[in-house]
Amino acid sequence: MKRKALPTLLLIATLGVIASHLDWKVSENGHLLLIDNRPVDLVGMAKNSWNRLSRSCSTVNSVLKDDPLYKSSSDLIKSYSPPDSNSANIASMISSQNWILAEVEFDSLLPAVVLIRGVDKEQHIIPNGIWSGYTKPWESAPFIRNYLNTQVTDVPRDLTDCFEPNSQSFK
């Protein structure tokens, strides 16, 4: 065999080995890269990275447990669909303008991300602004951000852009 053919054969063999471990899967939610049949959401990872680089969170505030807004929002979530919602455990809560975005886990309900809007000193859960369920194998943050922005078009973009999942359900 000629020495000039070796690099070409090595390249072909390397590409063959790589191709045998990688594949693309197309579903209604988008594309997934399969590495040894393990799904990886490359598009979601890229969207998440771009979001972190391009967003501005200067108008978004964390709502802490000692804040009255935290208690009133938590009570509102707990009373939304009792008795199962009584076990609401807030994983994170952020606010912007008169909007609140809460990440919640329950004992017997699926985890949720809930949009709350304050109107005339009253808080209201936006019924179509609730994400409930798991997102795997998709990256949670971009998947949930897209859902909320599609469902509630007047939510402040900075609020959804600055949402970063903290609960184990979305990691």
**What residues does each domain of the chain span?**
5-40, 56-170
Report the C-alpha gap between 8 and 5 in whole angstroms.
5
Which residues, 6+ apart, have CB-to-CB distance to 96 below 8 Å? 59, 60, 61, 156, 158, 159, 162
**Which residues of the chain are modeled with pLDDT < 50?**
none
pLDDT number for residue 153: 95
What are φ and ψ of residue 39, in 5° steps?
Answer: -75, 140
pTM confidence score: 0.83
pLDDT at 46: 94
Answer yes or no: are the C-beta atoms of 9 and 2 closer than 8 Å. no
Q: How far apart are CA 149 and CA 158, in angstroms?
A: 11
| Residue range 99-113, pLDDT digits in tens | 999 999 999 999 999
